[in-house]
Structure 1
Amino acid sequence: MIIIGGTATNGIDENLSKITSIPLIKVEHKIFPDGESYIRIPQHITNQEILVVQSLYPPQDKHFVELLLILETLADMKNNKITAIIPYLAYARQDRRFKEGEALSIKTILGAISRAGADALIVIEPHKAEELSYFGKEVKIADPIPEIAKEIKKKVENPFVLAPDRGALERAKRLAEELNAEYSYIEKERDRDTGEVRIKNLPELKVKGKDVIIIDDIISTGGTMIQAAKAAYEFGARKVISAAVHSLFLENAYEKMVNGGIREIITTNTIPQDPSKVTIIDVAPSIARKL
């Protein structure tokens, strides 16, 4: 078995190699003057089981094309099995058509990865597990919640886990079980045209004097987290911290979240982060558990 480190790994490939003692080969990569990517596997590898690590954080399109180039090159080398390990799977939000004529982006992305030569897929906490069926082959989901919970335990006294919408409820349940805490959720709705998030129905949250952990799969602009934090404070939360697997922090999201009363943000290294701003959890152990 060999790990191939792609062009967008954020050190996860190196950490995975250390944990598993599987040898790592980094791809050679450069950008031509016109912006196109050059990819080369620096060793001839054949008849091997290959683990390709490549995250699809921004610039998503470039990293996606580079993943396809890596996969097809390894397939052309006649290897036995190629597993694409994609810590952050871009284009996962659009898994169904909300309006007529919309592209099913996750279907297109996973279909292309399959056709390029991936025989199996490992992802970290996808937006929805069922959307991975578009890959059509072996799929495993790596769960970083145990590592996130271990870090949260250092920072809270009387925890309460809050999902910022119904879709995150199962994730909140998993974290609550790790923390031996109660959990609940807020029902929200998002304007399909503007993207604005509004709380639809606000249940009574029994969080008075508690440390509330808001858990979600992704932080984009932070609007969902901010709305949930506001609700928690309205019901008497002592403090609010945010935990998310994938954090993009678009449109000054970090600053807005801090100004919205979120005391601390815990996230993973599926996307590069500033360690002076957030607590970063390595996902390599969760991937290793799936190998």
Structure 2
Amino acid sequence: MIIIGGTATNGIDERVSRLLNLKLIKVEHKVFPDGESYIRIPEQINDKEVVLIQSLYPPQDKHLVDLFLMIETLADMKIEKINVVAPYLAYSRQNRRFKEGEAVSVKTVLNLIRKSGATSLAVVEPHHYEELEYFDGETRVIDPIPDIGKVISEKTKGPLVLAPDKGALNRAKRLAEILNTDYMFIEKERDLNTGEVRVKNLPELKVNGRDVVLIDDIISTGGTMVQAISMVKKQGAKNVYVSAVHGLFIGDAYSKLIQAGASEVIITNTIPQDPSKVSVVDVSDAIARTI
């Protein structure tokens, strides 16, 4: 088996290659003057199985097209098993039709990955596990929560683990079990026209003088987290640690979290991060374990 490093790996391909002691082939790539992608696998591959690592962080559309080109090129090279590892899976939040006529974006993306020639797909903490059923092949979920838990356990003992909505409750539960502590969630609702998120109810949390860890899969604009931070701070939380698997941090999202009262932001490296701002948890070990 060989590791193929795609055009968007954030160094994860190199670390996984070292951890598993597998040969790494880096894809050659460039962008033509008209914006189109050029892809080349620079070596003839004799192995029948490869692991292609390609994250799909912004610019998502370019990285997706690169992925399709790489998969089909490997298929043309007669590779029998093309195992795609996507540390961040773009379009995963549009996993069903919220309004009539909407595209189910993640379904389209997963269909295209499969039809390009991928035989299996592994994703780091997808938005919804069931959306992987759209991929007509073997799928695996890479769980980074134990690695996040190790980092948090060094910073606080017995915090309340809080999910910013019911959909993130499973993550909160898994993290709380690692930290040997309690957990709960906040109810929220989203306006389907504007996309605005607001807290639906404000539960009475026994957090006065206590640390709180907020956990979610994605931080995009940070709106949901900001509301949650403000809520627990008003109820007397001591320190608020904000954690997520995928940190997009659109616009001034990071600044909003800090201004709202976050003590620290803990994020994995599925998307490139600024280590001077956030604590970065490497998912390479989790990926290597899954492979």
Instruction: Say yes or no: TM over 0.5.
Output: yes
CA distance in 2, matches of 1:197, 1:227: 9
TM-score (norm 1): 0.98
Deviations, residues 226-279 of structure 1 (Å, cap 9, x unaligned): 111112112221110100000010120000110000110000110000010000
2:2·2:47 contact (CA, 8 Å) conserved in 1? no
CA distance in 1, matches of 2:237, 2:16: 38
Match of 1:74 in 2: 74
Match of 2:197 in 1: 197
For the pair 1:22 / 2:22, whether they are aligned, the reply is yes
1:184·1:205 contact (CA, 8 Å) conserved in 2? no
1:31·1:38 contact (CA, 8 Å) conserved in 2? yes
Deviations, residues 156-203 of structure 1 (Å, cap 9, x unaligned): 133110000000000000000010011010000111122211111222
Match of 1:65 in 2: 65
The number of residue pairs the alignment matches comes to: 291
CA distance in 2, matches of 1:232, 1:107: 36
TM-score (norm 2): 0.98
Counterpart of 2:263 in 1: which secondary structure? strand
Deviations, residues 210-234 of structure 1 (Å, cap 9, x unaligned): 1100000000000111111112112
Match of 2:259 in 1: 259
| Residue pairs, 1:216-255, within 5 angstroms | 216-255=216-255
- Which residue type is aligned with residue 192 of structure 2? R
CA distance in 2, matches of 1:248, 1:55: 13
Q: CA deviation at 1:49?
A: 0.8
Deviations, residues 125-153 of structure 1 (Å, cap 9, x unaligned): 00000000000110000001111011111
- Which residue type is aligned with residue 261 of structure 1? G
Match of 2:183 in 1: 183
Unaligned runs of 5+ in 2: none
2:4·2:26 contact (CA, 8 Å) conserved in 1? yes
CA RMSD in angstroms comes to 0.8
For the pair 1:282 / 2:282, whether they are aligned, the reply is yes
CA distance in 2, matches of 1:207, 1:12: 37
Higher mean displacement: 269-278 or 38-47: 38-47
CA distance in 2, matches of 1:230, 1:255: 14
Deviations, residues 96-123 of structure 1 (Å, cap 9, x unaligned): 1010000000000000000001000000
Identical amino acids, percent of aligned pairs: 63
Q: CA deviation at 1:47?
A: 4.5
CA distance in 1, matches of 2:281, 2:8: 17
Counterpart of 1:33 in 2: which secondary structure? coil
Counterpart of 2:209 in 1: which secondary structure? coil
Structure 1 ranges of 4+ moved more than 4 A:
none
1:164·1:186 contact (CA, 8 Å) conserved in 2? yes
CA distance in 2, matches of 1:257, 1:147: 22
| Residue pairs, 1:13-52, within 5 angstroms | 13-52=13-52
| Residue pairs, 1:75-114, within 5 angstroms | 75-114=75-114
CA distance in 2, matches of 1:108, 1:30: 26
CA distance in 1, matches of 2:246, 2:63: 16
